[in-house]
Amino acid sequence: MDDLAREILKDMALEEIGPRDQKRSPVDHWPPAILLERAAYLKKMARYGDGSASETLREYPQHSLGLLFRSRDGDAEMHEGYAFLFCVLAGTATLVTGGTLTHPRKAGPGQRNGDALEGGVRQELKQGEFVHVPAGIPHQFLVAGEKSIACFVVKIQETE
């Protein structure tokens, strides 16, 4: 996703909460209809990229909330210091967890990506399901054929 698209999504997120000069409530609320509408927009953006698009809805001191859309397999990922909670809003995919990253490479601070996972556990995910992936556990979304998945994502900073 390019920088312009990220800025558009950021502006959209702020507009739905209220005017920028208005004091924001400390409680954030996103009804399913809004999340699914935003996921539909991410689906359009994913068509013009690598089959994936995401946005951060809000960042907090120890966690962030976001949306993820995938219509193709993703890289295998491992995040040191961050756990993930995925809630499937729509679609289906296979989540592979554990195992070893193949062809690992540094993708950012505390993050390594790979082409795939060897020896991981596969589980099918569908609408309404939640899955928690602890920090340091490799994971990868596999999306078969014409299927896709949209998830609400909570990225949680874990401290020892």
pLDDT tens for residues 57-79?
999 999 999 999 999 999 999 99
pLDDT for the residue 14 = 47
In angstroms, the Cα distances linking 12 to 16, 27, 141, 157 are 6, 18, 27, 26
Mean pLDDT of 125-150: 96
Indicate if the pLDDT at residue 111 is higher than 90.
yes
pLDDT tens for residues 78-103?
999 999 999 999 999 999 999 999 99
Q: With pLDDT > 70 as the criterion, what percentage of the chain qualifies?
A: 85
Residue 19 — very low, low, confident or very high, per pLDDT cuts 50/70/90?
very low
Mean pLDDT of the chain: 88
Mean pLDDT of 136-140: 97
Indicate if the pLDDT at residue 48 is higher than 60.
yes
Indicate if the pLDDT at residue 16 is higher than 70.
no
CATH code at 3-22+30-157: 2.60.120.10
Count CB neighbours of 66 within 10 A. 17
Closest-CA residue to 71 (of 49, 101, 97, 102): 49
Residue 59 sits at φ, ψ, to 5 deg, of -110, 140
Dist CA 157 CA 80 (whole Å): 9
Higher-confidence residue of 102 and 20: namely 102
Closest-CA residue to 152 (of 123, 127, 115, 119): 127
Exposed, middle or buried: residue 85 (CB in 10 Å: 0-12, 13-18, 19+)?
A: middle
| Domains in the chain: boundaries | 3-22+30-157
pLDDT for the residue 159 = 78
pLDDT for the residue 3 = 56
pLDDT for the residue 24 = 72
Instruction: Name the token pair of 79.
Output: 């995040």
pLDDT for the residue 51 = 94
pLDDT for the residue 160 = 63
